[in-house]
């Protein structure tokens, strides 16, 4: 019985879990914040972070002998970070991380330069967004041309960390999951599009070799095996243990829906981002701009102190909120593609004008918006039998009461845990097992599933579908033709 470690380098911290190789049980863990200021929220330029900060917090998180006896390490890291290196392997400038309002212009430039959204969807399975690496390269070329010229090697956060752990070898590697989010690697063909790097950056650059899910990136001088690593999204999906028939709905300020699928989906509308997962399968993702921000806005409007109180208030109403329907497009919306619209409150009658009905409509509107995103995937043949619901608000009674019937599927609410770090550890166990000849490179190790609440639609299904239809009617009447799942 061996032990492995999973390391998750998130935007603000590093978390490490040490797990039993056979069962996945977490034996010990470490944590350290990155020694950097929070990325600026102004969005005037990409947030810059010296990648050495990631190494410093890694060292701190691993202190106290945390990694003693560990045989292999997997690395998960924030997605969309670009680390441009010169020909000698030194950073040309700090890593560009997170989102950036100014890069929206670069994204629009790139979309036009290739011939539109459909051309990008066909090329790499996604349409450039402000946060994506390919867009950041365009921003770099336009804003810091001298740095763009010096950028000879392009790495993402997890690629760079793996490379550092291995002692900066000549060979640089990445995995399918991380590569699929760059905007210059196609999950459908499994190949880089160097022409798109050139389109964005102005010249070709060296890119990490994409290795298989169970392959090792290498071994440290001390004999520690380092697995391929992957992006946080893919690592969390792997840590949760999702498979075919499963979807994950993440409730942050904005929302996302992803599901496991055997093939890459090309979506000419650009609503689906076609990512690869950490196992050799695919992970189509649909995002909405409005999830928990809908609830926070409603709480402020009603003068309610917190989201728990908003949930309690909503539970005093009934399904359908006495006819109130909230289209929660407060920031515009991506799904459906209505970037310049605003939210809509419909169905106002004297009897529905009560705080509890508006509270209920906010929860139902948020969940119906995510059900729309689910329908985009279902409409493309993605099977969804079970939905994992993530995010702090997944614990709220109003969410749990409405979600199964509105989604039309079993809903699983996992207990909070470091799923990205656990997924990275599971990848390390897989690579270790393959290297020792005890595991098949096509079949990951079976670990115990996440502890979770399981919620069934049950007798509420018909009522939930009626509420959903009420939402769809208002949506189609207000924005005719905007939504074609």
- Identify any residues that bridge with 75 across adjacent strands, giving them in sequence order: 7
CA distance 159 to 203: 21
CB of 354 closer than 8 Å to CB of 249: no
Interacting residues of 179 by C-beta distance below 8 A, sequence separation 6+: 185, 192, 208, 210, 276
3-state secondary structure of 130: coil
pLDDT of residue 326: 98
Alpha helices (H) in 241-354, listed in sequence order? 292-302, 307-314
Closest C-alpha to 106, from 140, 82, 79: 140
CA distance 380 to 271: 12
CA distance 298 to 302: 6
pLDDT of residue 483: 81
Helix then strand then coil, in percent of the chain rounded to 5, is: 35, 25, 40
Q: How many CA atoms lie within 13 A of 217 on its CB side?
A: 35
- Identify any residues that bridge with 74 across adjacent strands, giving them in sequence order: 6
Q: Please state whether beta strands 384-390 and 410-414 pair in parallel, antiparallel, or not at all (unpaired).
A: parallel
| Claim: this prediction has a pTM higher than 0.85 | yes
Task: From first to last of the 485 residues of the chain, give the pLDDT tens digit.
Answer: 699 999 999 999 999 999 999 999 999 999 999 996 544 444 445 579 999 999 999 999 999 999 999 999 999 999 999 999 999 999 999 999 987 677 889 999 999 999 999 999 999 999 998 899 999 999 999 999 999 999 999 999 999 999 999 999 999 999 999 999 999 999 999 999 999 999 999 999 999 999 999 999 999 989 999 999 999 999 999 999 999 999 999 999 999 999 999 999 988 888 899 999 999 999 999 999 999 999 999 999 999 999 999 999 999 999 999 999 999 999 999 999 898 999 999 999 999 999 999 999 999 999 999 999 999 999 999 999 999 999 999 999 999 999 999 999 999 999 999 999 999 999 999 999 999 999 999 999 999 988 899 999 999 999 999 999 999 999 999 999 988 75
CA distance 123 to 104: 20
């Amino acid at each position: 019985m061996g032990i492995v470690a999973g390391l998750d380098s998130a935007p603000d911290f590093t978390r490490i879990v040490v797990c039993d190789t056979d069962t996945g049980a977490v034996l010990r863990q470490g944590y350290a914040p990155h020694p950097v200021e929070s990325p600026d929220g102004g969005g005037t330029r990409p947030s810059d972070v010296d990648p050495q900060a990631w190494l410093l917090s890694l060292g701190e998180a691993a202190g106290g002998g945390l990694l003693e006896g560990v045989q292999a390490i997997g690395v998960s890291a924030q997605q969309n970070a670009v680390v441009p290196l010169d020909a000698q392997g030194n950073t040309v400038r700090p890593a560009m991380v997170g989102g950036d309002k100014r890069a929206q212009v670069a994204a629009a430039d790139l979309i036009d330069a290739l011939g539109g959204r459909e051309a990008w969807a066909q090329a790499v399975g996604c349409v450039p967004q402000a946060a994506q690496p390919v867009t950041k390269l365009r921003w770099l070329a336009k804003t810091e041309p001298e740095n763009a010229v010096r950028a000879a090697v392009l790495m993402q956060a997890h690629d760079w960390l793996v490379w550092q752990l291995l002692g900066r070898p000549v060979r640089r590697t990445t995995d399918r999951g991380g590569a699929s989010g760059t905007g210059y690697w196609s999950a459908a063909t499994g190949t880089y599009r160097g022409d798109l790097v050139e389109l964005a950056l102005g010249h070709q650059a060296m890119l990490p070799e994409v290795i298989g899910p169970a392959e090792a990136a290498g071994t440290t001088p001390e004999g520690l095996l380092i697995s391929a690593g992957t992006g946080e999204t893919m690592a969390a999906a792997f840590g949760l243990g999702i498979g075919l028939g499963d979807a994950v709905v993440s409730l942050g300020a904005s929302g996302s829906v992803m599901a496991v699928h055997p093939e890459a989906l090309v979506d000419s509308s650009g609503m689906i981002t076609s990512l690869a997962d950490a196992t050799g399968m695919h992970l189509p993702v649909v995002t909405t701009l409005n999830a928990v921000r809908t609830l926070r806005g409603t709480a402020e409007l009603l003068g309610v102190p917190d989201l728990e109180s908003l949930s309690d208030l909503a539970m005093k109403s009934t399904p359908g909120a006495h006819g109130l329907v909230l289209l929660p497009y407060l920031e515009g919306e991506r799904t459906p593609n209505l970037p310049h619209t605003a939210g809509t409150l419909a169905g106002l009658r004297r009897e529905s004008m009560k705080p509890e009905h508006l509270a209920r409509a906010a929860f139902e509107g948020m969940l119906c918006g995510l059900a729309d995103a689910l329908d985009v995937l279902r409409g493309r043949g993605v099977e969804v039998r079970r939905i994992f619901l993530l995010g702090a608000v997944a614990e709220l009674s109003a969410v749990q009461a409405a979600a199964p019937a509105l989604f039309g599927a079993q809903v699983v609410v996992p207990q909070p845990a470091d799923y990205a770090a656990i997924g990275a550890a599971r990848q390390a166990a897989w690579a270790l097992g393959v290297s020792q000849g005890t595991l098949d490179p096509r079949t990951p190790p079976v670990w115990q599933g996440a502890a979770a609440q399981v919620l069934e639609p049950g007798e509420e299904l018909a009522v939930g579908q009626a509420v959903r239809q009420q939402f769809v009617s208002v949506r189609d009447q207000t924005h005719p033709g905007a939504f074609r799942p």
